[in-house]
Amino acid sequence: MLVKKISKKKLKQLVKDDKLIIDCQKHNKNKIINSINNLLKFDKQVQFINCHDQELIMLAEVINLQDIKKRYEYIYDVVCDYLDEQFQKNNYCQFVNDVCVSGQYRNSQYKEFGCCYIYPRQNWMAKLAKKFMKNQGVLLLDVTSPTICPHLSGKDCRIKALSCKLFTCRYLQKKGVSFAIDDFWLLKKFFNKRQKTILQYSFYHDKEKVINQLLKYT
Ligand code: SF4
Ligand code: SF4
């Protein structure tokens, strides 16, 4: 039979000196990642030995951060840094004179500064979506006319907004560039459904606010 997780019974046997010591040569990476819930329930510091995998080293750091807020902040930063690196390295948005690749094809007065605009919600579908978002705990920002995001400073964003970093426009999506919460195993494994909705849709909101919102739904 294929064992997908390390069982609680097995984990109990791995506790030494009040630490969970897991030999990465004896348990494969997927098994360890799939065991996150069991590892957390154990409420012990985790130490991986014979481990050369950066993701597993990171996993041990996350589990060993027993303060939930610090744990969330760590994961938030890791994913933000990864996305920043991807956008920079691949130059997805291809800005030329402050106009991104999508803006170059867009017939709109709002061509500059990419997608850093806030648009008013007008029709009944948008209102319904707004109600749903509020019920899910998503942080919203409302405006009465299209507005450049207040966090934009020159060409840079002043805050660390994970939802914005995850966003790609339809133009990029058609080119195959899109990011979902479950693409990141740290987000997939450490957050519940409602928290994932908050992470995906709380555009224009800074890390501190988003983390505090996540903590309400742990
Ligand atoms: S995601 Fe799309 S609209 Fe936003 S800056 Fe990049 S290319 Fe432009
Ligand atoms: S919060 Fe930052 S990334 Fe998001 S729309 Fe505003 S300036 Fe752009």
Say what percent of the chain tops pLDDT 90.
Answer: 73
* Main-chain phi, psi angles of 197, to 5 degrees: -65, -40
Average pLDDT, whole number, for the chain?
Answer: 92
| Average pLDDT estimate for 61-65 | 96
Of 164, 179, 203, the residue with max ligand 2 atoms within 8 A of its CB, to mutate for a pocket test, comes to 164
- Average pLDDT in the 138-143 region? 90
In the chain, where are the structural domains located?
Answer: 8-64, 68-216
Q: What is the pLDDT of residue 124?
A: 75
The ligand minimizing its distance to the Cα of 84 is 2
Angle between helices 207-216 and 193-201 (to 10 degrees): 160
pLDDT of 170 > 90? The answer is: yes
* Residues in the chain, overall count: 218
| 135 contacts 59 by C-beta, under 8 angstroms | no
What local confidence, expressed as pLDDT, does residue 206 receive?
97
User: In 137-170, which positions are buried (b, 16+ CB within 10 angstroms) versus exposed (e)?
Assistant: bbbeeeeeeeeebebbeeeebebbbbbbbbbbbe
Tell me which of 127 and 54 has the higher pLDDT.
54
Asked if residues 18 and 44 have their Cβ atoms less than 8 Å apart, the reply is yes
Residue 144's pLDDT is 86
Is pLDDT larger for residue 81 or for residue 124? 81
CB of 114 within 6 A of ligand 1: the answer is yes
**Cβ-proximal residues to 105 (8 Å cutoff; 6+ apart), any chain:** 171
Give the ligand with the smallest distance to the CA of 112.
1
Nearest CA to ligand 1 atom 4: 115
Query: Torsions phi, psi of 123, nearest 5?
Result: -85, 170
Nearest bound ligand to CA 116? 2
Highest mean pLDDT among 29-43, 145-159, 193-207: 193-207
Mean pLDDT, range 166-170, rounded to an integer: 96
CB atoms closer than 10 angstroms to residue 199: 23
What per-residue confidence (pLDDT) applies to 3?
57
Tally of CB atoms within 10 A around 192: 11
pLDDT tens column, 23-53:
999 998 999 999 998 999 888 999 999 999 9
Edge-to-edge strands, sheet with 45-49: 15-16, 19-23, 45-49
Among 62-66, 119-123, 134-138, 192-196, name the one with the lowest average pLDDT.
Answer: 119-123
What pLDDT, on a 0 to 100 scale, did the predictor assign at position 105? Answer: 83
The model carries a pTM of 0.92
Residue-level pLDDT at 2: 57
93 lines ligand 1 (CB under 6 A): yes
Q: Give the span between the Cα atoms of 10 and 27, in whole angstroms.
A: 11
